[in-house]
Structure 1
Amino acid sequence: MNEDNNITNGDSINIKSENNESKFTKKNIIFASIIVLVAIIGGIFILKWYLYSLNHVYTEDAEVDGHIYAISSMVPGNIQSIYVHKNEYLKKGKLIAVINQSAYLPEMLQAKANYDLAKEKLFNAGGSIGNFAGNAFNNYYLDKFNLKKTASSLSAAKLTYKLDKRNYSRGLKLLSKEFITKEQFDTLKTSYLVARQNYFVALNSYKAAKRSYVNAQYAKSIITAQKYTTVKPLEAAIKVAKSAYKSAKANYLNTFIKSPVNGVVSEKMSYLGEYITPGTPIIMINNLKKVWITANVKETLVANIKKGDPAVITVDSFPGRIFKGIVKFVGSVTTSKFALIPTNNPSGTYTKVTHRLPVRIKIINDKNHILKPGMMVEVSIKTTK
């Protein structure tokens, strides 16, 4: 009986051992199969990513960029009124705020009065000088013309006088030799005397015309002198007054602060009643219609990126939504050059690092302008190689 029991117990132990070995083998096969399957899937993923990376550049170091305008005053003073609110959309030219005008308006009005007075003084001086100048210049040109006319008459009378004088002298000789009659000689003598008289009359007329012309020249020179002693200083005073008026008017107009662009008020920096100086921001404006992507790409990957390459953009704020863009340009300077702490190490030690270059990407399918400056994005650029 004992032997039979021992045999039975031994057989049961062997059966259990075989079952355990069978279960262990199945577990190993399943585990090994899972490992192989994971390795295959991982290999496929790695191969796919490798093939993808051959003609794509991917980076998570990217964000939405845009111009943010700091709107400030050009003149100092207390803020009298503010007409905008945060997140309000503004059109170009909309009135944002007004600086207290208690000093600027009277200054402009006084400058305008000074400018008008300077113009009036010049007008009055110019009127009196103008009347005198009109007569003087009129006499000058008349006397000049008369001088030329009398000079021409004198030349003709002088020529006639010389000819008649020569004929008279020859007549005396001919009369003494009785080659001409007394009547013929008297005719020559009469012509000579008339020509001499005409010559002296013309000479006196010329001298009188010359004296008148000299006097007219003097009067003209007085006008020129008055122009420099009276008119020129008044003209200079007008220029000074006009410049002061323009400056005062510009200061007054600068108390009205208007939006230079279309955009949204992203932040209010100053408030009603606050005293501000030129350059102190009142509000910040950003234009959502003019945003782009700045992707910082490793310098080892930018060689294949060209202008016009397509890009796919994903944003955490809008999961499942794909934005498209095109490369506008690759930056000419790495981002480290604009860092507050320079990367140059003067101690002598050196560690080579990979810098990044900014790549600007234009967004082409954000018609509703939902992308805001500062949003972090992921970018994949399809390259030609």
Structure 2
Amino acid sequence: MKEESPKKSQKLKNKIPAKKRTIITIAFAALLILGTALTYPFYIHAMNHESTDDAFVEAHVVAISPRVSGHVAEVCVADNQMVRKGQVIARIDNRDYQVELDIAKSRMASANATVKEAEAMIVASSKELSQRRAELSSQTASLSRYRAQVSEAEAGHFRDANDLTRISSIAKAGAISIQEFDHAKAQEKMSSANLRSAKSNIHTQNAKIQEAQAGIEAAAGKLQQAYAQAEMRKANLLEAQAQVRQAELNLSYTNITAPCTGYITKKSVEAGNYVMAGQKLLNIVNPDVWIIANFKETQIKDMREGQHVDIEVDSFPGIEFSGHVDSIQRGTGSRFTLLPPENAAGNFIKVVQRVPVKIVLDANEDAEKLAPGMSVVPSVDITGGETKSIDVASSERRD
């Protein structure tokens, strides 16, 4: 087919009225402006926001386990029921633990009685030691008196012996009578006997003093033994008191209470079951929830704490949720798996990693509808937030 000549095309254009051409041009321009106006906000939003569909609702989930073993006497909650902190969830048959508490209290009373007995022994031993010391003081005073008597007896014997010697010389000259000589001899023998008796008393008193000292040592040893016995019995009393406290705790543990406010989930216990200490009975889900969004590592460059986040929840498409970036995990998700990847291997393939970002919801009464595990799509406004980004924070920490 032959191409149309320029002249022929010009002729065809000339056939279209000028007014109609103007209208077409204006309509085309209007459509172009309208399309630009409609798509520009989406373009700006895409440039200023980062979003991901790899995000889920998270919450504190507390696993409830008994601290003592026994048969479950009563279960006070049902699945999905809301409980308050301190509310009784279940009761374990406490009769065995009540008996253990009674036995522990009896042992404590017995230990307390033995402590009082030991304290009485200390008092008695202290009195005995005081008596022994007083006896020693008395015997020591008697020894001093006997020593004075020995000195007196020695002086008397010395006088009588001198008198006998002098009288003997005079008696040889016949200047005195035999009767006077015999009296001097008897006086000397008497004073000698008194001296021997006084010295004998000294020896006897020394023996008594040694006996008193031995009594003091025995009484002191007995007192020390009483103190040691008291300390041992006090230790036994402390042990008995600790056993009572432990028995009281075990008895209190038969009432299983909620450690926090939340909703009962995954209940697997019924009345009559025998449960072991540490056995999982149910979970309590805390109503305070947050979002964990796993962004690609290429998306968090301009992400900062405090940035606004719009949140869409798959379960509630008609409800708008909002929040803000709370923190960015220092490490990718794969780094904290059970078997982290070994990048030093020769078959390394670069894969874009995901970095968990914690998003806290703003105050919203509809937030109570959210449950852990729900899928969400967060969109982070990367134009706001704090001035310190994750990269700046990391460099400051290195410095």
Alignment-derived partner of residue 241 in structure 1? 240
Instruction: Work out the CA distance in 2 between the residues paired with 1:359 and 1:109.
Output: 54
Summarize the alignment of residues 76-225 of structure 1 with structure 2, pairs less than 5 Å apart.
Answer: 76-127=69-120, 129-133=121-125, 135=127, 219-225=219-225
> Relative to structure 2, which stretch is displaced further, 290-299 or 211-220?
211-220
Alignment-derived partner of residue 360 in structure 2? 362
Which consecutive residues of structure 1, in runs of 5 or more, have no partner in the other structure? 1-21, 23-29, 155-206
Instruction: Work out the CA distance in 2 between the residues paired with 1:126 and 1:224.
Output: 12
Instruction: Work out the CA distance in 1 between the residues paired with 2:338 and 2:370.
Output: 28
Report the secondary structure of 1:85's partner residue: coil
Summarize the alignment of residues 302-381 of structure 1 with structure 2, pairs less than 5 Å apart.
Answer: 302-339=300-337, 342-344=340-342, 348-368=346-366, 369-381=368-380
CA 1:367 to 1:136, structure 2 compared with 1: closer, same or farther past 3 Å? farther
Instruction: Work out the CA distance in 2 between the residues paired with 1:143 and 1:310.
Output: 94
Equivalent pair of 1:271/1:282 in contact (CA under 8 Å): no
Instruction: Work out the CA distance in 1 between the residues paired with 2:112 and 2:80.
Output: 49
Alignment-derived partner of residue 162 in structure 1? none
Summarize the alignment of residues 8-23 of structure 1 with structure 2, pairs less than 5 Å apart.
Answer: none
The number of aligned residues is: 304
AA paired with 2:372?
A: P
AA paired with 2:311?
A: I
Instruction: Work out the CA distance in 1 between the residues paired with 2:326 and 2:235.
Output: 54
Summarize the alignment of residues 244-259 of structure 1 with structure 2, pairs less than 5 Å apart.
Answer: 244-259=243-258
Alignment-derived partner of residue 65 in structure 2? 72
Equivalent pair of 1:269/1:284 in contact (CA under 8 Å): no
CA 1:49 to 1:123, structure 2 compared with 1: closer, same or farther past 3 Å? same
Say whether residues 1:58 and 2:57 are aligned partners: no
CA 1:334 to 1:40, structure 2 compared with 1: closer, same or farther past 3 Å? farther
CA 1:271 to 1:346, structure 2 compared with 1: closer, same or farther past 3 Å? farther
1:261, distance to aligned residue in structure 2 (A): 0.7
Report the secondary structure of 1:103's partner residue: helix
CA 1:287 to 1:38, structure 2 compared with 1: closer, same or farther past 3 Å? farther
Instruction: Work out the CA distance in 2 between the residues paired with 1:222 and 1:354.
Output: 82
Percent of aligned pairs with the same amino acid:
28
CA 1:209 to 1:335, structure 2 compared with 1: closer, same or farther past 3 Å? same
1:136, distance to aligned residue in structure 2 (A): 5.5
Q: What TM-score results when the alignment is normalised by the length of structure 1?
A: 0.65
**What is the root-mean-square deviation in Å for CA atoms of aligned residues?**
4.1
Report the secondary structure of 2:115's partner residue: helix
1:384, distance to aligned residue in structure 2 (A): 3.4
Equivalent pair of 1:89/1:264 in contact (CA under 8 Å): yes
Alignment-derived partner of residue 201 in structure 1? none
Q: What TM-score results when the alignment is normalised by the length of structure 2?
A: 0.63
